[in-house]
Protein backbone atom coordinates (compact mmCIF):
# COMPACT_ATOMS: atom_id res chain seq x y z
CA UNK A 1 0.00 0.00 0.00
CA UNK A 2 1.46 3.28 -1.09
CA UNK A 3 0.76 6.52 0.65
CA UNK A 4 0.04 9.60 -1.31
CA UNK A 5 0.55 13.11 -0.08
CA UNK A 6 -2.42 15.38 -0.22
CA UNK A 7 -2.02 18.72 -1.93
CA UNK A 8 -2.32 21.78 0.25
CA UNK A 9 -5.81 23.05 0.72
CA UNK A 10 -6.75 26.31 -0.96
CA UNK A 11 -6.14 29.39 1.24
CA UNK A 12 -3.55 27.66 3.36
CA UNK A 13 0.22 27.73 3.09
CA UNK A 14 2.39 24.72 3.46
CA UNK A 15 4.56 25.43 6.55
CA UNK A 16 7.61 23.47 7.49
CA UNK A 17 8.50 22.96 11.13
CA UNK A 18 11.24 25.52 11.90
CA UNK A 19 14.51 24.09 13.05
CA UNK A 20 15.64 24.87 16.58
CA UNK A 21 18.26 27.60 16.73
CA UNK A 22 21.78 26.40 17.46
CA UNK A 23 23.09 26.45 21.00
CA UNK A 24 24.21 29.86 22.13
CA UNK A 25 21.92 31.67 19.67
CA UNK A 26 18.39 33.02 19.89
CA UNK A 27 16.25 33.26 16.74
CA UNK A 28 14.45 36.46 15.92
CA UNK A 29 12.70 37.48 12.69
CA UNK A 30 13.13 40.91 11.22
CA UNK A 31 10.71 43.18 9.41
CA UNK A 32 11.37 41.43 6.10
CA UNK A 33 10.48 38.07 7.53
CA UNK A 34 14.01 36.70 7.39
CA UNK A 35 15.34 34.91 10.40
CA UNK A 36 18.00 36.67 12.38
CA UNK A 37 20.18 35.28 15.11
CA UNK A 38 21.54 36.93 18.23
CA UNK A 39 24.59 35.51 19.92
CA UNK A 40 24.05 34.83 23.62
CA UNK A 41 27.13 33.97 25.62
CA UNK A 42 30.37 35.44 26.93
CA UNK A 43 31.65 38.66 25.43
CA UNK A 44 34.27 38.57 22.78
CA UNK A 45 37.91 39.16 23.71
CA UNK A 46 37.69 42.45 21.81
CA UNK A 47 36.04 44.07 24.85
CA UNK A 48 39.10 43.25 26.94
CA UNK A 49 41.36 44.70 24.27
CA UNK A 50 39.29 47.87 24.30
CA UNK A 51 39.77 48.16 28.07
CA UNK A 52 43.54 47.92 27.64
CA UNK A 53 43.38 50.62 24.97
CA UNK A 54 41.67 52.95 27.46
CA UNK A 55 44.39 52.22 30.03
CA UNK A 56 47.24 52.63 27.56
CA UNK A 57 47.66 56.44 27.87
CA UNK A 58 47.86 56.34 31.66
CA UNK A 59 50.18 53.32 31.53
CA UNK A 60 52.43 55.12 29.04
CA UNK A 61 52.69 58.21 31.26
CA UNK A 62 53.33 56.07 34.34
CA UNK A 63 56.05 54.15 32.54
CA UNK A 64 57.77 57.29 31.24
CA UNK A 65 57.68 59.33 34.45
CA UNK A 66 57.71 56.69 37.23
CA UNK A 67 58.81 53.21 36.17
CA UNK A 68 61.67 54.13 33.82
CA UNK A 69 63.21 56.78 36.13
CA UNK A 70 63.07 54.28 39.00
CA UNK A 71 64.85 51.66 36.89
CA UNK A 72 67.45 54.26 35.91
CA UNK A 73 67.92 55.11 39.60
CA UNK A 74 68.52 51.44 40.33
CA UNK A 75 71.10 51.30 37.53
CA UNK A 76 72.95 54.34 38.89
CA UNK A 77 73.04 52.79 42.35
CA UNK A 78 75.65 50.30 41.10
CA UNK A 79 78.11 53.09 40.28
CA UNK A 80 80.28 55.47 42.23
CA UNK A 81 79.39 58.71 40.48
CA UNK A 82 79.60 62.39 41.36
CA UNK A 83 77.03 63.45 38.76
CA UNK A 84 79.57 65.04 36.40
CA UNK A 85 82.52 62.79 35.54
CA UNK A 86 82.36 59.20 34.37
CA UNK A 87 81.11 56.76 36.95
CA UNK A 88 82.92 53.71 38.31
CA UNK A 89 81.20 50.34 38.66
CA UNK A 90 81.09 49.28 42.34
CA UNK A 91 78.35 46.65 42.23
CA UNK A 92 76.65 46.32 45.60
CA UNK A 93 79.16 48.58 47.34
CA UNK A 94 76.69 51.42 47.73
CA UNK A 95 74.12 49.08 49.26
CA UNK A 96 76.68 47.82 51.75
CA UNK A 97 77.36 51.43 52.67
CA UNK A 98 73.66 52.08 53.20
CA UNK A 99 73.28 49.06 55.48
CA UNK A 100 76.48 49.64 57.49
CA UNK A 101 76.79 53.43 57.76
CA UNK A 102 75.31 54.50 61.14
CA UNK A 103 74.07 57.84 59.71
CA UNK A 104 72.19 56.12 56.91
CA UNK A 105 70.67 53.53 59.24
CA UNK A 106 69.62 56.17 61.77
CA UNK A 107 67.82 58.12 59.03
CA UNK A 108 65.73 55.03 58.25
CA UNK A 109 64.95 54.61 61.95
CA UNK A 110 63.85 58.25 62.14
CA UNK A 111 61.51 57.69 59.19
CA UNK A 112 60.03 54.62 60.89
CA UNK A 113 59.54 56.66 64.06
CA UNK A 114 57.60 59.27 62.09
CA UNK A 115 54.92 56.63 61.49
CA UNK A 116 53.72 57.33 65.03
CA UNK A 117 53.31 61.05 64.26
CA UNK A 118 52.15 60.83 60.64
CA UNK A 119 49.92 57.74 60.97
CA UNK A 120 48.92 56.60 64.45
CA UNK A 121 48.19 59.99 66.01
CA UNK A 122 46.25 61.41 63.02
CA UNK A 123 44.18 58.24 62.70
CA UNK A 124 43.35 58.16 66.42
CA UNK A 125 42.47 61.86 66.53
CA UNK A 126 40.62 61.61 63.21
CA UNK A 127 38.43 58.80 64.54
CA UNK A 128 37.65 60.79 67.66
CA UNK A 129 36.79 63.97 65.75
CA UNK A 130 34.79 62.07 63.13
CA UNK A 131 32.68 60.49 65.87
CA UNK A 132 32.01 63.94 67.37
CA UNK A 133 31.55 65.94 64.16
CA UNK A 134 29.70 63.33 62.12
CA UNK A 135 28.45 60.80 64.65
CA UNK A 136 25.41 58.57 64.21
CA UNK A 137 25.49 58.96 60.46
CA UNK A 138 24.65 62.67 60.55
CA UNK A 139 26.54 65.70 59.33
CA UNK A 140 27.67 68.21 61.89
CA UNK A 141 29.94 71.21 61.88
CA UNK A 142 30.97 71.27 58.17
CA UNK A 143 33.04 74.42 58.79
CA UNK A 144 35.26 72.54 61.26
CA UNK A 145 35.85 69.82 58.72
CA UNK A 146 36.86 72.40 56.12
CA UNK A 147 39.30 74.15 58.47
CA UNK A 148 40.95 70.89 59.49
CA UNK A 149 41.33 69.82 55.85
CA UNK A 150 43.13 73.04 54.86
CA UNK A 151 46.66 71.64 55.48
CA UNK A 152 46.07 69.24 52.60
CA UNK A 153 45.67 72.06 50.09
CA UNK A 154 48.53 74.23 51.42
CA UNK A 155 52.00 73.50 49.95
CA UNK A 156 54.18 71.67 52.46
CA UNK A 157 56.96 74.21 51.95
CA UNK A 158 54.60 76.94 53.17
CA UNK A 159 53.58 74.71 56.06
CA UNK A 160 57.23 74.24 57.03
CA UNK A 161 57.97 77.97 56.88
CA UNK A 162 54.91 78.79 58.99
CA UNK A 163 55.69 76.24 61.69
CA UNK A 164 59.36 77.27 61.74
CA UNK A 165 58.21 80.76 62.69
CA UNK A 166 55.72 79.40 65.24
CA UNK A 167 58.43 77.29 66.91
CA UNK A 168 60.94 80.14 67.08
CA UNK A 169 61.97 81.74 70.38
CA UNK A 170 59.43 84.55 69.98
CA UNK A 171 56.93 82.43 68.05
CA UNK A 172 53.32 81.82 68.89
CA UNK A 173 54.06 78.53 70.67
CA UNK A 174 56.33 80.14 73.26
CA UNK A 175 54.06 83.18 73.52
CA UNK A 176 51.12 80.93 74.34
CA UNK A 177 53.12 79.05 76.94
CA UNK A 178 54.16 82.30 78.62
CA UNK A 179 50.56 83.54 78.57
CA UNK A 180 49.33 80.50 80.52
CA UNK A 181 52.16 80.64 83.06
CA UNK A 182 54.41 77.98 81.52
CA UNK A 183 57.28 80.25 80.60
CA UNK A 184 59.79 77.85 82.14
CA UNK A 185 58.92 75.33 79.40
CA UNK A 186 59.75 77.64 76.50
CA UNK A 187 62.78 76.88 74.37
CA UNK A 188 64.05 77.01 70.79
CA UNK A 189 62.09 73.90 69.85
CA UNK A 190 63.66 73.22 66.48
CA UNK A 191 67.18 73.74 67.85
CA UNK A 192 66.78 71.42 70.81
CA UNK A 193 68.37 67.98 70.42
CA UNK A 194 65.65 66.40 72.56
CA UNK A 195 62.50 68.12 71.28
CA UNK A 196 63.28 68.91 67.64
CA UNK A 197 62.20 65.44 66.47
CA UNK A 198 58.93 65.66 68.40
CA UNK A 199 58.27 69.20 67.15
CA UNK A 200 58.69 68.18 63.52
CA UNK A 201 56.61 65.06 64.05
CA UNK A 202 53.72 67.09 65.45
CA UNK A 203 53.73 69.17 62.27
CA UNK A 204 53.17 65.94 60.36
CA UNK A 205 50.31 65.09 62.71
CA UNK A 206 48.67 68.44 61.99
CA UNK A 207 49.08 67.96 58.22
CA UNK A 208 47.61 64.45 58.05
CA UNK A 209 44.78 64.97 60.55
CA UNK A 210 42.47 66.67 58.05
CA UNK A 211 42.87 63.89 55.49
CA UNK A 212 42.04 61.19 58.03
CA UNK A 213 39.05 63.17 59.30
CA UNK A 214 37.53 63.58 55.83
CA UNK A 215 38.03 59.89 55.03
CA UNK A 216 36.40 58.79 58.26
CA UNK A 217 33.49 61.19 57.92
CA UNK A 218 32.81 59.89 54.43
CA UNK A 219 32.86 56.36 55.83
CA UNK A 220 30.44 57.25 58.60
CA UNK A 221 27.93 58.55 56.04
CA UNK A 222 27.62 55.07 54.49
CA UNK A 223 26.98 53.25 57.76
CA UNK A 224 23.33 52.23 58.02
CA UNK A 225 21.58 54.44 60.58
CA UNK A 226 19.46 51.47 61.68
CA UNK A 227 22.60 50.04 63.30
CA UNK A 228 22.86 53.12 65.51
CA UNK A 229 19.15 52.87 66.36
CA UNK A 230 19.55 49.20 67.28
CA UNK A 231 22.55 50.02 69.47
CA UNK A 232 20.59 52.73 71.29
CA UNK A 233 17.68 50.35 71.83
CA UNK A 234 20.13 47.91 73.41
CA UNK A 235 21.16 50.63 75.84
CA UNK A 236 24.55 51.42 74.27
CA UNK A 237 26.10 54.75 75.21
CA UNK A 238 28.20 56.93 72.89
CA UNK A 239 31.44 55.09 73.69
CA UNK A 240 30.01 51.62 73.22
CA UNK A 241 28.18 52.81 70.09
CA UNK A 242 31.48 54.00 68.66
CA UNK A 243 33.30 50.71 69.26
CA UNK A 244 30.36 48.49 68.27
CA UNK A 245 29.07 50.31 65.19
CA UNK A 246 31.29 53.15 63.98
CA UNK A 247 34.72 51.53 64.27
CA UNK A 248 33.80 48.24 62.51
CA UNK A 249 32.14 50.23 59.74
CA UNK A 250 35.32 52.21 59.07
CA UNK A 251 37.71 49.31 58.45
CA UNK A 252 38.16 50.11 54.76
CA UNK A 253 38.70 53.82 55.44
CA UNK A 254 41.21 53.06 58.20
CA UNK A 255 43.14 50.83 55.78
CA UNK A 256 43.29 53.60 53.17
CA UNK A 257 44.30 56.23 55.74
CA UNK A 258 46.99 53.97 57.20
CA UNK A 259 48.47 53.28 53.77
CA UNK A 260 48.58 56.95 52.72
CA UNK A 261 49.97 58.24 56.01
CA UNK A 262 52.65 55.54 56.28
CA UNK A 263 53.89 56.40 52.80
CA UNK A 264 53.96 60.08 53.79
CA UNK A 265 55.93 59.26 56.95
CA UNK A 266 58.58 57.17 55.21
CA UNK A 267 58.93 59.55 52.25
CA UNK A 268 58.87 62.76 54.32
CA UNK A 269 61.15 65.50 53.04
CA UNK A 270 59.54 68.94 52.63
CA UNK A 271 58.65 69.72 56.23
CA UNK A 272 61.90 68.35 57.66
CA UNK A 273 64.10 70.10 55.11
CA UNK A 274 62.42 73.50 55.57
CA UNK A 275 62.16 73.43 59.37
CA UNK A 276 65.43 71.82 60.53
CA UNK A 277 67.34 70.64 57.46
CA UNK A 278 67.89 67.37 59.34
CA UNK A 279 69.36 69.03 62.44
CA UNK A 280 70.29 69.77 65.05
CA UNK A 281 73.07 67.34 64.29
CA UNK A 282 71.34 64.34 62.73
CA UNK A 283 68.44 64.20 65.19
CA UNK A 284 65.77 64.79 62.54
CA UNK A 285 67.55 63.44 59.45
CA UNK A 286 65.28 61.23 57.35
CA UNK A 287 66.12 59.33 54.12
CA UNK A 288 64.57 62.02 51.91
CA UNK A 289 66.84 64.74 53.34
CA UNK A 290 69.86 62.44 53.28
CA UNK A 291 69.25 61.51 49.64
CA UNK A 292 69.18 65.20 48.73
CA UNK A 293 72.32 65.87 50.76
CA UNK A 294 74.26 62.95 49.26
CA UNK A 295 73.33 63.75 45.67
CA UNK A 296 73.49 67.55 45.55
CA UNK A 297 75.90 68.46 48.38
CA UNK A 298 78.36 65.60 48.76
CA UNK A 299 78.38 64.48 45.12
CA UNK A 300 77.64 60.84 46.02
CA UNK A 301 74.93 60.16 43.47
CA UNK A 302 75.40 56.39 43.53
CA UNK A 303 74.98 56.19 47.31
CA UNK A 304 71.94 58.48 47.09
CA UNK A 305 70.37 56.23 44.46
CA UNK A 306 71.08 53.13 46.56
CA UNK A 307 69.39 54.73 49.57
CA UNK A 308 66.43 55.70 47.36
CA UNK A 309 66.06 52.11 46.16
CA UNK A 310 66.24 50.78 49.73
CA UNK A 311 63.63 53.33 50.81
CA UNK A 312 61.33 52.31 47.93
CA UNK A 313 61.64 48.65 48.88
CA UNK A 314 60.94 49.47 52.53
CA UNK A 315 57.80 51.44 51.62
CA UNK A 316 56.62 48.62 49.36
CA UNK A 317 57.11 46.01 52.08
CA UNK A 318 55.33 48.08 54.74
CA UNK A 319 52.39 48.86 52.45
CA UNK A 320 52.18 45.20 51.40
CA UNK A 321 52.06 44.18 55.07
CA UNK A 322 49.31 46.71 55.80
CA UNK A 323 47.31 45.48 52.81
CA UNK A 324 47.66 41.84 53.86
CA UNK A 325 46.66 42.53 57.46
CA UNK A 326 43.66 44.71 56.62
CA UNK A 327 42.60 42.33 53.84
CA UNK A 328 42.55 39.37 56.24
CA UNK A 329 40.46 41.34 58.73
CA UNK A 330 37.96 42.33 56.04
CA UNK A 331 37.62 38.73 54.91
The CATH number assigned to the domain holding 139 equals 1.10.3720.10
| Number of domains into which the chain is organized | 1
For 208-252, how does the pLDDT look when each residue is reduced to its tens digit (9 = 90+)? 998 998 899 888 888 888 888 898 888 888 888 888 888 888 999
Residue numbers of the domain that contains 263: 111-285
Q: What is the pLDDT of residue 12?
A: 47
Asked if 133 and 145 touch (Cβ cutoff 8 Å), the reply is yes
Q: Please name which of 326, 142, 122, 328 lies closest in space to residue 218, comparing C-alpha atoms.
A: 142
Does some domain include residue 266? yes
Does some domain include residue 232? yes
Does residue 19 or residue 253 have the better pLDDT?
A: 253
d(CA 152, CA 165): 20
* Ramachandran area for residue 33 (φ above 0: left; ψ -120 to 50: alpha; else beta): left
10 Å CB burial of residue 216 (0-12, 13-18, 19+) is buried
Does some domain include residue 329? no
pLDDT > 70? residue 296: yes
d(CA 115, CA 89): 35
Does some domain include residue 327? no
* Three-state secondary structure readout of 27-51: EEECCCCCEEEEECCCCCHHHHHHH
Q: What distances in angstroms separate CA 135 from CA 24, 141, 143, 257, one per listed residue?
A: 53, 11, 16, 19
Does some domain include residue 23? no
Asked if 107 and 283 touch (Cβ cutoff 8 Å), the reply is no
d(CA 119, CA 126): 10
Q: How do beta strands 25-29 and 35-39 pair?
A: antiparallel
pLDDT > 70? residue 138: no
Mean pLDDT over 88-93 rounds to 92
- Return the C-alpha torsion angle 278, 281, 286, 289, nearest 10: 40
Does some domain include residue 196? yes
In which band, very low, low, confident or very high, does the pLDDT at 162 lie, cut at 50, 70 and 90?
Answer: very high
What are the helix (H) ranges across the chain?
45-62, 68-76, 93-100, 102-115, 121-133, 142-149, 156-166, 172-179, 196-221, 225-233, 238-241, 247-249, 251-266, 270-275, 287-296, 301-330
Helix (H) or strand (E) holding 168: none
pLDDT > 70? residue 132: yes
d(CA 143, CA 147): 6
d(CA 198, CA 183): 19
Mean pLDDT over 11-19 rounds to 48
Q: What is the pLDDT of residue 45?
A: 58
Mean pLDDT over 42-49 rounds to 68
In which band, very low, low, confident or very high, does the pLDDT at 255 lie, cut at 50, 70 and 90?
Answer: very high
Does some domain include residue 31? no
Query: What is the pLDDT of the chain when averaged over all its residues?
Result: 83
In which band, very low, low, confident or very high, does the pLDDT at 7 lie, cut at 50, 70 and 90?
Answer: very low
For 266-276, how does the pLDDT look when each residue is reduced to its tens digit (9 = 90+)? 999 999 999 99
* Ramachandran area for residue 3 (φ above 0: left; ψ -120 to 50: alpha; else beta): beta
Q: What is the pLDDT of residue 328?
A: 58
Asked if 117 and 202 touch (Cβ cutoff 8 Å), the reply is yes
Mean pLDDT over 187-205 rounds to 93
Q: What is the pLDDT of residue 3?
A: 46
Rg (CA), the chain: 32
Does some domain include residue 240? yes
Q: What is the pLDDT of residue 14?
A: 46
Amino acid sequence: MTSTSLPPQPGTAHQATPAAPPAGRTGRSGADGRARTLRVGPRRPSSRKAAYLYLAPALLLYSCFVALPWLHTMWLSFFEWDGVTAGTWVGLGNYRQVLTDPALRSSILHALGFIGFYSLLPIALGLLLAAVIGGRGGRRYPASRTVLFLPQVVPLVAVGVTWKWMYSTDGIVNQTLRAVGLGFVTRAWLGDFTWAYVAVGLVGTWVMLGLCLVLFQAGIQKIDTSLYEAARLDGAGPVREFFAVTLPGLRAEISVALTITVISALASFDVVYVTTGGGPGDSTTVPGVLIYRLAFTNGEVGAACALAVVLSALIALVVLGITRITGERDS
